[in-house]
Amino acid sequence: MDDLNSTRRRPGRPRAGDAGPTRDVILRVATDLFARNGFDAVSLRAVADAAGVDVATVHHHAGGKLVLYQSCFALVFEAERRALEPVIAAAAEPGGDLLAALHRVVDAFVDFLEERPETTGLWLRRWLEPQRHAGIDEQFSTPLYDQVERVLAAADRAGVLHEPQPHLAVRSLIWAVHAHAVTGLHGEIPADSRFALRAFVHRWLERMYGP
């Protein structure tokens, strides 16, 4: 018999100490579902079933479907920020080998998307409906893209390289790498595809900004 003085756990409430791991699991499975199926096709019930919890638990941790969707973008953005910000900062340092630093930025971006293809799935489905979910781009992609654009713009002003359209240059390369990474949503990216994409982006950098 239960101790009459004990507190029963209500449905949808995590056990003591479970809050962090439970939320992490919910975010991971929700990110995968949204990446594969889009916002409208994913229900909180589907997220709960995939996470092995009840819908009330998903509500407790996510606060609703839209908040959960935004949290998934926040999750992948934080991982992308950790992967890219150090190499972007190195590229922004004056006096260094800028072209070599840009190669490292591109490598870090390709590495990240090959390891986290759900990032590509989320963004491709988001971009198919540009009028919906306003503000997601500004929060979870633009800050990093702007950092690279500023590096290119500053280098152009200093005469280190010639890039009159840094916004277009950055976006074009991003689209190319996302198109490559989408294969990872459906299984392992073939080794020859990995090699070909890396060869392309490095060749592109050399032809655009090399001597």
Catalogue all structural domains in the chain, each as residue range(s) with its CATH number.
Answer: 1-63 (1.10.10.60), 73-209 (1.10.357.10)
Nearest to 182 by CA among 203, 170, 197: 197
Task: Say how far residue 120 (Cα) sits from the centre of its chain.
Answer: 7
Where residue 20 falls among pLDDT bands split at 50, 70, 90? low
Between 85-99, 107-121, 184-198, the lowest mean confidence (pLDDT) is in: 184-198
Between 12-16, 57-61, 98-102, the lowest mean confidence (pLDDT) is in: 12-16
Tell me what the mean pLDDT of segment 56-85 comes to.
95
What integer best gives the mean pLDDT of the chain?
A: 89
- The Cβ-side half-sphere exposure at 195, using a 13 Å CA radius, reads 3
- According to DSSP, residue 18 is labeled -
| pLDDT reported for residue 186 | 83
Q: Residue 166 pLDDT more than 50?
A: yes
Quote the tokens at residue 1.
């018999």
| pLDDT reported for residue 104 | 97
- Using alpha carbons only, how large is the chain's radius of gyration in Å? 21
| pLDDT reported for residue 23 | 92
Where residue 99 falls among pLDDT bands split at 50, 70, 90? very high
Tell me what the mean pLDDT of segment 2-29 comes to.
56
Tell me what the mean pLDDT of segment 80-89 comes to.
97
Where residue 16 falls among pLDDT bands split at 50, 70, 90? very low
| pLDDT reported for residue 10 | 37
Q: What's the pLDDT tens digit per position in 40-67?
A: 999 999 999 999 999 999 999 988 999 9
Contact 121/35 with Cβ under 8 angstroms? yes
Rounded Cα distance, 58 and 68, in Å: 9
Nearest to 117 by CA among 167, 180, 163: 180
**pTM of the model as a whole:** 0.86
Where residue 13 falls among pLDDT bands split at 50, 70, 90? very low
Nearest to 160 by CA among 106, 210, 197: 210
